[in-house]
Amino acid sequence: MPSNNTKSQQEKDLKYNWHPYAQMKELDQFPPPLITHSKGIKLFDESGHYIYDTIASWWCNVHGHAHPKITQAIASQAETLPHVMFGGLTHNPAINLSETLVNITPDTLTRVFYSDNGSCAIEVALKMSFQYWQHQNKPEKQAVLYLENGYHGDTLGTMSVSGVDVFHGTFSPWLFKAHAMPVPLTHPTLDSPVPISVDQAITTLEAHLKAHHHTTAAMVVEPLAQCAGGMRFYSPEYLSALSALTTTYNVHLIADEIATGFGRTGKMWACDWSGIAPDFMCVSKGLTSGTLPIAATLTTSQIYEAFYGDYHDHKTFYHGHTFTANPIACAAANASIALFAEEDTLKNVAQLSTSLNQHIHQLAAHPNFKNPRAFGAIAAIDIIDAKTNAPFPDSHRIPRLLYQAGLKHHVMLRPLGNTMYIFPPLCTTVSELEVIMEWIHTTINEVFGQ
Ligand SMILES: Cc1ncc(COP(=O)(O)O)c(C=O)c1O
């Protein structure tokens, strides 16, 4: 039972806070649990009740909560240099992090530009691409391509290149025009039961690029896994073809590795499955194992050189944020990246991936689920009304019911519309996953019946 302290804090939460992606009326009826501490893959409230962090705190936790090495790195950096501006000054945590990032990303990426969150990292890539073409005397290259159902953030620029209407439809009059390209999914979904083929997708993209490459600056994609768009996956074959086409038609490729990077798909980068080298790579979320907000946009020497010149050439990239390259966040990132080797994180992801795949396919035996799919440490399945074989009407509030029941049964479920998914910290063991899946079965039996 929550203590009085917890209860009054929850009341104050609802009095003063406005939570993200939340209908606050729902929260008034079912206040969010007050989390007081976290350890490993569990979140705790004051009474000791715990929830497995089955969505890795919005897809960013890699090595588990309160990992001593990351905590130590944060503490000692906070004691020596908590923050200093990155305009006109520099510091060791950022220098070391940039060197590491350049070493662990595709060879062509040689420069690192910091910002604070995933959306900003994409904005930076879009703006750099736009300005690059001006420096090349090709100012007409302005258009941006993205993949249907892609998601790249919630700022105005990133909303313009995203295809998830529920998030961004309201703001469409404010957004710049960008073009969606079809995605050859590797699995059916409720809204595309028969996905288009890789060949069809390539043909459409090639036709578009052939006709419009003169006016196209860049194409932005989530490599292989479209997360916010409903945990949809497409093949390395298509990513390779797409990358080759953008190169042929002289259009920048922006790889949004914000959700897929740092091991989520089983390799350090989803791009590694295709061996491609994009013009820009954007990373955030797992960069600090989800401990502090920071993001990076990596790019090539060719793009960097186009901005290099004398002051009066006016080639400067005028973009920055107050907390650019915050030293504590950089120190956390350095510690987190070191843990990949120390803890053999990718080996664990391989085991976790096999197990997630089996579990999600077993779940498909339940009459309220179909279209199981898994890739790396991501597993997803669509929710249906067993009577109609179609999605439940919104009035049934199924995502909300799963969330509420899940909290009681130690799991954090936040379905994306009609898609329930599991996105655990990468350190989750196969035996922990067994326990999590038992709780998920208990939860779904409570919501849908046996
Ligand atoms: C692929 C992808 N790109 C960009 C973003 C935006 O990142 P942020 O929420 O840090 O702005 C997200 C967030 O979920 C994402 O999944």
State pTM to two decimals. 0.98
The best mutation among 116, 254, 258, 282 to test binding of ligand 1, ranked by most ligand atoms within 8 Å of the C-beta, falls on: 258
Considering the domain boundaries, does residue 9 fall inside one?
A: no
Same domain for 247 and 194: yes
Q: How far is CA 303 from each of CA 16, 111, 133, 200, rounded to the nearest angstrom? A: 45, 9, 10, 31
Indicate which atom in ligand 1 lies nearest the CA of residue 158.
4
Q: How far, rounded to the nearest angstrom, does the alpha carbon of residue 314 sit from its chain's CA centroid?
A: 34
Asked whether residue 377 falls in the same domain as residue 292, the answer is no
Is residue 53 situated within a structural domain? Answer: yes
Distance CA 30, CA 51 (A): 16
Q: Give the chain's domain count.
A: 2
Is residue 97 located within the same domain as residue 210?
yes
What is the 448 CA–ligand 1 centroid distance (Å)? 31
193 and 254 share a domain? yes
Q: Are residues 356 and 430 in the same domain?
A: yes
Residue type, 344: D
Ligand 1 geometric centre to CA of 151 (Å): 7
Whether 188 and 291 share a structural domain? yes
Assign residue 51 the CATH number of its domain.
3.90.1150.10
How far away, in angstroms, is 352 Cα from ligand 1 center? 23
Same domain, 241 and 133: yes
Ligand 1 centroid to residue 113 C-alpha, Å: 17
Enclosing domain of residue 418: 33-63+344-448
Known catalytic residues?
21, 151, 256, 285
Say how many Å lie between the CA of residue 162 and the centre of ligand 1. Answer: 11
DSSP helix/strand/coil, 105:
coil
What is the distance, to the nearest Å, from the Cα of residue 433 to the centroid of all Cα atoms in its chain? 21
Q: Which of 60, 284, 292, 321 to mutate to test the pocket of ligand 1 (most atoms within 8 A of CB)?
A: 284
Last residue of a domain, one of 326, 342, 358: 342
Q: How far apart are CA 392 and CA 124, in angstroms?
A: 39
Shortest CA distance to 357 belongs to which of 374, 376, 378? 374
pLDDT per residue of the chain (450 residues) written in tens, 0 to 9: 566 799 999 999 999 999 999 999 999 999 999 999 999 999 999 999 999 999 999 999 999 999 999 999 999 999 999 999 999 999 999 999 999 999 999 999 999 999 999 999 999 999 999 999 999 999 999 999 999 999 999 999 999 999 998 889 999 999 999 999 999 999 999 988 999 999 999 999 999 999 999 999 999 999 999 999 999 999 999 999 999 999 999 999 999 999 999 999 999 999 999 999 999 999 999 999 999 999 999 999 999 999 999 999 999 999 999 999 999 999 999 999 999 999 999 999 999 999 999 999 999 999 999 999 999 999 999 999 999 999 999 999 999 999 999 999 999 999 999 999 999 999 999 999 999 999 999 999 999 987
> Distance between CA 262 and CA 309 in Å, rounded?
34
Same domain, 177 and 304: yes
d(CA 126, CA 218) in angstroms, rounded, equals 8
For 87-128, what is each residue's pLDDT tens digit? 999 999 999 999 999 999 999 999 999 999 999 999 999 999
Q: 342, 376, 399 — which closes off a domain?
A: 342
Residue 10 lies in a domain: no
For 284, residues 6+ apart whose C-beta sits below 8 A from its C-beta are: 60, 117, 118, 121, 258, 293, 294, 295, 296
325 and 355 assigned to the same domain = no
From the list 175, 165, 283, 263, the residue with the least C-alpha distance to 222 is 283
User: For 217-247, how does the pLDDT look when each residue is reduced to its tens digit (9 = 90+)?
Assistant: 999 999 999 999 999 999 999 999 999 999 9
Residue 285 alpha carbon, nearest atom of ligand 1 = 10
Nearest CA to ligand 1 atom 13: 153
Contact predicate 399/393, CB 8 Å: no
Shortest-distance atom of ligand 1 to CA 284: 10
Residues 190 and 311 in one domain: yes
Coarse DSSP helix, strand, coil percentages of the chain, rounded to the nearest 5 percent: 45, 15, 40
**Whose alpha carbon is nearest atom 7 of ligand 1?**
118
CATH of the domain at 211: 3.40.640.10
- Is 353 contained in some domain? yes
Asked, for residue 221, whether it belongs to a domain, the answer is yes
CA atoms within 13 A on the CB side of 87: 9
Contact 220, 256 (CB under 8 A): yes
- Sequence-separated contacts (24+) of 6-14 with Cβ below 8 Å: 6/34, 6/45, 6/46, 6/47, 9/34, 10/34
Buried b / exposed e along 34-44 (16+ C-beta atoms within 10 A)? beeebebbbbb
Is residue 391 in some structural domain? yes
Q: Are 328 and 258 within one domain?
A: yes
Q: Looking at ligand 1, which residue's alpha carbon is closest to its atom 4?
A: 152
3 within a domain of the structure (yes/no): no
| Domain end among 317, 342, 367 | 342
Clarify whether residues 144 and 259 are in a common domain: yes
Distance from the alpha carbon of residue 436 to the mean position of ligand 1, in angstroms: 25
Please give the number of the atom of ligand 1 that sits closest to the Cα of 155.
Answer: 11
Classify residue 40 as left (phi > 0), alpha (psi -120 to 50) or beta: left
Cα separation, 365 vs 187, whole angstroms: 17
Q: Is the distance from CB of 344 to CB of 304 less than 8 angstroms? A: no
* Ligand 1 lining (C-beta closer than 6 Å): 117-119, 122, 151-153, 222, 227-228, 256, 258-259, 284
The b-or-e profile of 73-105 (16+ CB within 10 A means b, else e) is bbeebeeeeeeeebeeeebebbeebbeebeeeb
Ligand 1 pocket test target in 152, 154, 160, 183 with most atoms within 8 Å of CB: 152
Provide the 10 A C-beta neighbour count for residue 7.
Answer: 13
Index of the ligand 1 atom closest to the CA of residue 59: 14
Residue 6 lies in a domain: no
Residue whose Cα lies nearest atom 10 of ligand 1: it is: 118
